[in-house]
Structure 1
Amino acid sequence: MPLDNYGVWKAHPVDHKVDRRGSDKPHLTLYFRNNGGGVYEAAINIKSGDLDESRLAYWVNEDMNDHPLVEGLSHLPTGFKRLDDTEPEPGGLRLDYIRGNLFDVNTGRILEHDITGLNNDIIDVLVPRVQQAIDEGAVVYIFGEQYESQSGIHNVHMNQGNIRRYSGDDGVLQDGALLFHFPESDKWTGLFLAFGSQSVHTSEDGGHALSRVAWRDLLPGDLVENSVVIRGATVNPSSGAQSVILANLTNRKVSLARWRIRNSRWEQQVLPRHATLGASAAAEFDVLDCPLSEDGDTITLLNSDGLKVAGVSYSSRQGIQDGPIVFAG
């Protein structure tokens, strides 16, 4: 049967802990408060119980301000709002990864729980975003299933298209997620999680898997930071503005929303929220806020989390040449 007591919890995040290698059932636990009162917890899966496929898929929607969900969520009082006692119809507050157009499927990645190195597993994705929400006083909207004790919430992930062992939890319009509202910037961001073994096609009546195609078959197994290079730059334009050419090395569209191009003086150009690169495509971006020196300079590409994606440098000889500088890669 579908989840019991499915809903959304509007709260203020205050702390977190993460289970690393060696844990039987690792979670990221997000601690939160209502307006005053005690501390509650959200148990967020960071590894699947499927022995054949333990990885998680994730998507980040950096700009959800215009999504229809936002209007309804913003008027909710702090606390848990049960949603499974309403009709599961599209257009309400209930989430559905397949039917809700919550994110661009092609921007997803599938990652291991905890592996050696930096910026290469699901913990490296989740922890910085959760910590940012805590540091900046964001409001969090946690979708999932409330504990029977009412002391917390779990199943904060896709809840349909499960393998047979977990198919009893399947249902439509009952998916879990984390949405953050940052009051100072009035920015809404969504973080969506699924198990690599879950089906990408599900039935309308019960949310059961309709095909054997799972997220592990559809999504790349690396972080998006490995996907874009700096292909060229125009430093000494005969007309127009200075610019940088970025190229997508993957066969999937990459969102560049809020990515940054930085020079050696740490001046930076923030890319537009709708900036994208199509599969195996390249695009030119003006760098009006990040002037490139004709005496030689460095150009660094950072993702929306401030992590370095790519970097190049050029000499004074290249800086005064006519036409674009071409970089290998």
Structure 2
Amino acid sequence: MRRLIDADGGRAYVFGQRWGPERDTADKIFGFRPGNGVHDVHMNQGNSGRFTSDNGVWQDGALVLRVPESDRWVAFFLAFQSQAWHTDDSTGHPIVEPAKPTRDISVRIVAALVNPVGGAPERETVTLLNASPASVRLDGWALVDRFAHRQPLTGTIAPGAALNVVVALPVQLGNKGGTITLLDSGGLKVDGVAYTAEQAGREGWTIIFK
């Protein structure tokens, strides 16, 4: 922060919620009048108890800094330990955990073909492995790309079997690196992987996730 303050042209972008102005109250830190500023510069969903009213979607706060001398961007994303990671996409409220823990459903993303041979449109695939001793129904499950596009899944994976899922729009596996997330029918993350541009640059090769 000191380097940013001293730098010519340094910028700080604060995303949060404005408060004030408080006409008859001085700022408790800097003393200027009227007191006003920006607060809630942190995740604003997944709250419970008296902070439930703060929940919402597309309103998380953050602090983004630009260091001009190196044209570098630095971002701070903050959250409280009491906030839930899994939240409803329409309300921002915590999603109630299922009675059976997701970790007991041992379906994993083990491989992906993100750069098939040939031009677009490419036949990208994601390979799922059921490592559990029981069949797993995929109805209501989804694959999610790095842009949060979802592809619904159906069918059943037998115990110890693998399923090759052909990727369909709007989901796309970019050749410049990305992420693949597997969600269950409750919208909870079952597994997630990431791959680099270097890995995706080998045309026709399947990326193995360990």
Which TM-score applies when normalising by structure 2? Answer: 0.49
Which TM-score applies when normalising by structure 1? Answer: 0.32
